[in-house]
Structure 1
Amino acid sequence: MSSSFQANLDEDYIPQNILLTGGAGFIGSHVAILLAKKYPHYNIVVYDKLDYCSCLDNLDEISRLKNFKFVKGDISSPDLVSYVMAEEHIDTIMHFAAQTHVDNSFGNSFNFTQSNIMGTHVLLEAAKCHRGMRRFIHVSTDEVYGEGETFETEAMNEEHVLEPTNPYAATKAGAEFLVKSYHRSFKLPCVITRGNNVYGPHQFPEKLIPKFTNQLLRGRPVTLHGDGSNTRNFLYVEDVARAFEVILHKAKPGMILNIGGANEVSNLEVAKKLITILGKEDQMDELISFVPDRKFNDLRYTINSGKLHQLGWKEEMSWEEGLKTTVEWFTKYSGRFGNIEDALVAHPRIGFAPGSSVSNEH
């Protein structure tokens, strides 16, 4: 599967019936909202298991639109997946559903294999056997590249060898190889995306920014792994949704596209910024707690998104404004996910084994 391309921007792909897996989750819900509202002639079918980190409230603003439908289902269920694809005349799959939390993958990795590899395989096989399939957009992660070993490491392009360092990333890399094989063997029209960390409204509070925000809103110190020096490149979720809008219409089968931003920030800097936004600068020292690091913690990820920029996408939300908007949302909707105490502990509890459903890709 090659990421080299000659993009003809005058020949946009126009879908009719989109199956969006994991669409009640974080990134998927924002993509579903954007497409359903902006393109009323597209039918958007969200398929989601409604597991612990997904929520129908994430889709409330489009729930009454005529071009939107929700189906509760597991991507690992071949019969249901095939039935929905036939019944809804699906011509496009946007596959966001996945287990994505790295910490959980160290203790409950079988769930990741089931969701990320088996679930993707079920979708691919159903798509292969389904008449009229014109696009299969597979949502992967920059973590498949492995870590950038130093801060001088050159940004990774789409041809970089895959060297995942944790069970989550390994299952996402495995899923990618399945996608590539169906593209090569069966000519399934596939596109693969690999994205940076994403933040913003609708994100379940197990991830860094919503976790720290919710800890602080409850008057607790943030729990920083290690010394907090590990960096991530953060992208605001609405920018990412627009990236998928571009990819849906502009990307050609066979492409692999990085979705990267320009906000490389250390975890410690994130914590300090959130404390400042919440007006608690005078408590900075007592609100930062350093805890033992995870089993392995990549130093950084840095990817080159030049190919996506050529298709017409660019990052628009500033880091400062994006963080403020995110904090405001969680302040207003802190009860959206019910009891989130398990998500706010420093490390996942070993017995906590959530099932498969949605993607956050980060």
Structure 2
Amino acid sequence: MDFNTVLVTGGSGFIGSHLVCSLVDRHPDWRIINLDDLDYCCSPRSLESIEDRANYTFIRGDVCNSRLVDHIFNTENIDVVFHLAAKTHVESSFESPSTFQRVNVDGTRVLLAAAHQARHRPQRFIYVSTDEVYGAGLDEVFDESSPVRPSNPYSVTKASAEFLVRSYWDKYKFPIIITRSNNIYGPRQFTEKVIPRFLTLLRMNKKCTIQGTLPKSRHFLFIEDAVSAFLLLLEKGIVGEIYNMGTSCEIPIMQLARQLIRMT
């Protein structure tokens, strides 16, 4: 595939910033465009190492702004879209489900429409979803053909957005790929997520607080492995397919807390 311009939505967030930095470093001959509205969980400092690179462009804006998104697709000749922009905190999704609906579903709708109608149609539209669409029983064996059973407002919006993405493949054969990953962790992650939250509490000499009821376990995927998977899918992924991005590293949250306590 001959790619020239890549658009990453949510490129100033935790996962997005690592992906953007990797793309800029690995492909100096590509143009990497980062569209991000710099929400509370984003930090421009995450991209300081590449902000002056000739092949990097930052556009501050909302993925739900159809006028802006249409303009980007009609002027930038986008070849690849990595759509990461989303609200992701499960507990917050119960408090403000309409916000999650707007960003995660409406934002995806705006992006799909603009990409499909653009004069220069993208060769890949990679939608970054989550394994939470499979439901609360993540200790069960599941694969890409397993039914989706989202169990909170966040995962409901991600599943809804997936159906939107799939509809463009079904009707137009628009070249989409969907990824569903485990919990991703690593440097620069915002403190609302469990590992940085535990570490922040421990550094303040406070107790780790566990949300919800026990027992509970999670699979964790390191950010560099996730980025490698994204780049592999860009090179070898088959359009119209869904790909689980996972790891065998499953750990009960209580055990995770104890291990972090021993490490700090």
Q: TM-score, normalised by structure 2?
A: 0.97
Query: 3-state DSSP class of the match of 1:62?
Result: coil
Q: Output the CA distance in 1 between the equivalents of 2:257 and 2:232.
A: 32
String of CA shifts for 1:9-61, please: whole Å, max 9, x gaps: xxxx3421001000000111111111110111111000000000011111111
Residue 194 in 1 paired to residue 180 in 2?
yes
String of CA shifts for 1:301-339, please: whole Å, max 9, x gaps: xxxxxxxxxxxxxxxxxxxxxxxxxxxxxxxxxxxxxxx
Q: Output the CA distance in 2 between the equivalents of 1:228 and 1:183.
A: 40
Residue 216 in 1 paired to residue 198 in 2?
no
Query: 3-state DSSP class of the match of 2:136?
Result: coil
CA offset at residue 64 of structure 1? 1.3
CA offset at residue 106 of structure 1? 0.9
Residue equivalent to 1:245? 231
Residue 92 of structure 1 aligns with an amino acid whose one-letter code is: V
Q: Output the CA distance in 2 between the equivalents of 1:260 and 1:92.
A: 23
Residue 58 of structure 2 aligns with an amino acid whose one-letter code is: F
Question: What is the percentage of aligned positions where both structures have the same residue?
Answer: 42
Structure 1 gap segments, 5+ residues each: 1-12, 279-362
Residue equivalent to 1:172? 158
1:81 to 45, 69, 79: 69
Residue equivalent to 1:53? 41
Number of paired residues?
263
1:110 to 98, 103, 107: 98
Residue equivalent to 2:88? 100
Residue equivalent to 1:206? 192
Structure 2 gap segments, 5+ residues each: none
Distance 1:105 1:24, change over 3 A: same
Residue 136 of structure 1 aligns with an amino acid whose one-letter code is: F
- 1:319-358 counterparts in 2 under 5 A? none
2:112 to 116, 124, 142: 124
Residue equivalent to 1:182? 168
CA offset at residue 252 of structure 1? 1.7
CA offset at residue 226 of structure 1? 4.4
Residue equivalent to 1:148? 137
Cα-Cα RMSD: 1.1
CA offset at residue 227 of structure 1? 5.2
Query: 3-state DSSP class of the match of 1:138?
Result: strand
Residue equivalent to 2:14? 26
Q: Output the CA distance in 2 between the equivalents of 1:251 and 1:21.
A: 19
Q: TM-score, normalised by structure 1?
A: 0.71
Residue 82 of structure 1 aligns with an amino acid whose one-letter code is: D
- Greater mean alpha carbon deviation, residues 218-227 or residues 263-272: 218-227
C-alpha contact 1:19 1:85 (8 A) present in aligned 2: no
Residue 275 of structure 1 aligns with an amino acid whose one-letter code is: I
CA offset at residue 228 of structure 1? 4.4
Residue 137 in 1 paired to residue 123 in 2?
no
